Amino acid sequence: MTSLQQNCHGFYLIEVLVSLAIGAILYAIAVPSVREMLGGHELKQEVAVLSKYLADFSLKSQQHEKTVEVLVTRDNYSAWEIGKPRTEILTHVFSGKVKAQIPEKEQLIFHYYQTGTTSPNSVTLSDGVKKCKITLALRGRVASTC
């Protein structure tokens, strides 16, 4: 061997290409799995937040002796204390692909009365792949299933 060949150190082109190919295959496998995992988490988080608010509104209506109304549309939900004046409690927009399963220009209303009773109802949230249902019982109890 000549002295030029002995002093050259590094990778052959084929080794670099094989390494890049392995990396591309791992990337192609991992990205869809991570997206699916995060999407499901987003839906469960929205269900947990809405369930918590619905449970809190039952207590709020009893403590303040006011009727609380919750309006759910496809993209968001809002809550008000009904009285003079009408006071907005909160407005929340669903994150990402999460939507309520309600026809386009319609809305769903939950009422919480001063006595602690509610209008029984349910709403289904979906991220396009999975669905979760939140059910509100007569006495303000909230249950969710995914």
At 87 the pLDDT is: 79
C-alpha distances (whole Å) from 98 to each of 44, 72, 94, 112, 125 are: 10, 13, 6, 25, 7
Q: Are the C-beta atoms of residues 81 and 68 closer than 8 Å to each other? A: yes
50 C-beta neighbours (distance < 10 Å), count? 23
Point out the residues of the chain with pLDDT beneath 50. none
At 6 the pLDDT is: 62
At 54 the pLDDT is: 85
At 2 the pLDDT is: 55
HSE-up (13 A, CA, CB side) for residue 141: 4
CA distance 131 to 20: 38
At 30 the pLDDT is: 85
At 110 the pLDDT is: 81
At 25 the pLDDT is: 93
The tokens for 6 are 């002995």
Selecting from 3.55.40.10, 3.40.640.10, 3.90.1150.10, 3.10.129.10, what CATH number does the domain 10-145 have?
3.55.40.10
At 21 the pLDDT is: 95
Domain locations in the chain?
Answer: 10-145
At 4 the pLDDT is: 54
